Amino acid sequence: MLYAVLPVLYQDLGLAAIEVGILLSANRWIRLLTNELAHWAATRVSARTLFAGALVLGALTTAVYASTTSFSILLMARISWGLAWSFIRHVGVGTVMANTDDAQAGRTMGWYNGISRAGSVAGLFGGALLVDWLGFHAGVLVLAVLSGLAVPLSFKAVGDTIHSKEGRRSAAPPFLLALGVSLGAVGPGFVMATVGAAIASLLDDSMRTPAATLTGALLAARYLMDSALAPLLGSSFDRYGFARAARIYFAIGGLALGLACLAADVWWFAVAIIVFFTCGTALQTGVAATASRLGSGAYARYVTASDLGSASGPLLGWGVVAVTSDPFHSIAIGGVVFALTTLVVRQPR
C-alpha cells in the first residue's frame, strides 16, 4: 500500500521527496542484516513463537503510520517492518519446504508465492482505495487491524521447528548468490524502476496521464502473474531440472528486454516487458525453492543476495538515466545482465 500511496500523498503528510525514497527502500537495506538474524534465531527459538512475534511487529509498524507523520519515527517503523518481514519470509518458506517433497518443490513454492502476491495485489489496490475513502491515517489503521487478525492463525500454520531437512548442507553455492543479485537488481531495479519513464518517452506530451495509467497497469500485471502463473511456472523446474529451466528463463528474459528497447510502439514494448515479467516469476519461484531445499542458511544468504540487488538496482537504474537521459539504456543493461547470468547457472548438488 505504501508504494501506491506515499508517492502521491507525501506532500500532504509533510514529507520530502527524498524521504519517500528512503522510506520505501529502508526495509530492504535492513534485511541485509536481519535475514541472517532470522536464520540464527530459527535454529534456536520456536518457529511458532518467531512467526507470531513477527506478525505482531508487522501489525504494530503499520499502526505507527496511522498515528504520526514524523519522518524519523516512520523510518524506525519501516526498519522494524524489514526485520519483521525477514522472520515472516524465513519461517514461512522454511515451513512450506520442510513439508514438501523435493519432486514438488517448484510447484509448491509457486503456490506459496502466488498466494503471497495475491496479498500484494490486495494491498496495492485495496489499501489505496481505503486511503482514498477514509483518509491516510484511518485507512492505514484498518490495514493494521487486518494485519493483526493474522496472528491467531500463525499458531496453527507453523510448528515448533521448521528444519526437518537441516541435514542438508546449509551453505549457499556462489552461483546461487549471483542469481539472487541478478534477479533483485534487474527486475525491481533496472526494469521496474524505469519502465514508467520508458513508456512516457514513447508517448507524446498530450498523453502523460495515459502513461501513468499504463505504467500502473503494467506493474500490476506483474503481481497478477505472480499469483496466477507461479505454480505452473514453478513446476517447470521440477519437470525439466533446475539448470535447464533457469538458463531458458534467463535467456528469454534477457531477449525480451532487448526487444523492448527496440520497440517503437508502446504496446509492443508492453508485450516484451510482460514476457520478461513472466520469466522473472518463474525464476523467483524456482530459484527460491532450490535455495530453501539446500537448508535454512542457504536460503537466508540467497534472499540477502536478492535483497542487495533489489535495494541497489533502482539506484543504479536511475543513475544510468541521470547520465544518459534515456531509460531504455537502463532496461538494456538489465537485458545484458540477464543474458550473462545464463553463464553462471549450475545444477545444485
Q: Is residue 245 part of a domain?
A: yes
Q: Is residue 23 part of a domain?
A: yes
Q: In the listed set 124, 157, 190, which residue is the last one of a domain according to the structure?
A: 157
Domain of 328 in residue numbering reads as 174-344
The answer on 214 and 105 residing in a single domain is no
The answer on 186 and 107 residing in a single domain is no
Q: Is residue 166 part of a domain?
A: no
The answer on 147 and 117 residing in a single domain is yes
The answer on 328 and 202 residing in a single domain is yes
The answer on 210 and 142 residing in a single domain is no
Q: In the listed set 109, 129, 157, which residue is the last one of a domain according to the structure?
A: 157
Q: Is residue 164 part of a domain?
A: no
Burial class (CB in 10 A: 0-12, 13-18, 19+), 175: middle
Q: Is residue 146 part of a domain?
A: yes
The answer on 185 and 72 residing in a single domain is no
- Report yes or no: 282 and 234 within 8 Å, Cβ to Cβ: yes
Round to whole Å and give the CA distance between 225 and 228: 5
Round to whole Å and give the CA distance between 334 and 182: 9
* Total number of domains constituting the chain: 2
- Report yes or no: 304 and 209 within 8 Å, Cβ to Cβ: no
CATH number at residue 76: 1.20.1250.20
What amino acid occupies position 169? R
- Report yes or no: 26 and 75 within 8 Å, Cβ to Cβ: yes
The answer on 202 and 106 residing in a single domain is no
Q: In the listed set 93, 124, 157, which residue is the last one of a domain according to the structure?
A: 157
Q: Residue-wise over 143-173: b if at least 16 C-beta within 10 A, else e?
A: bbebbbebbeebeebbbebbbebeeeebebb
Q: Is residue 349 part of a domain?
A: no
The answer on 273 and 213 residing in a single domain is yes
Q: Is residue 25 part of a domain?
A: yes
pTM comes to 0.78
Q: Is residue 277 part of a domain?
A: yes
The answer on 242 and 115 residing in a single domain is no
The answer on 234 and 135 residing in a single domain is no
pLDDT in tens, the chain (349 residues): 887 788 778 888 898 878 887 888 888 889 999 998 998 898 888 888 999 999 999 999 999 999 998 999 999 999 999 999 999 998 988 888 888 887 888 888 888 888 888 888 788 778 878 888 898 899 999 999 999 999 998 888 887 776 544 444 557 899 999 999 999 999 988 998 788 888 888 886 555 456 666 777 787 788 888 888 888 898 999 899 999 999 999 999 999 999 999 998 888 999 999 999 999 999 999 998 888 888 878 888 999 999 999 888 888 888 888 888 899 999 999 999 999 999 999 988 7
The answer on 128 and 188 residing in a single domain is no
Find, among 100, 58, 33, 103, the residue nearest to 303 by Cα. 33
Grid look-up 500500500 returns 1
The answer on 193 and 338 residing in a single domain is yes
Q: Residue-wise over 90-111: b if at least 16 C-beta within 10 A, else e?
A: bbbbbbbbbebeeeebbbbbbb
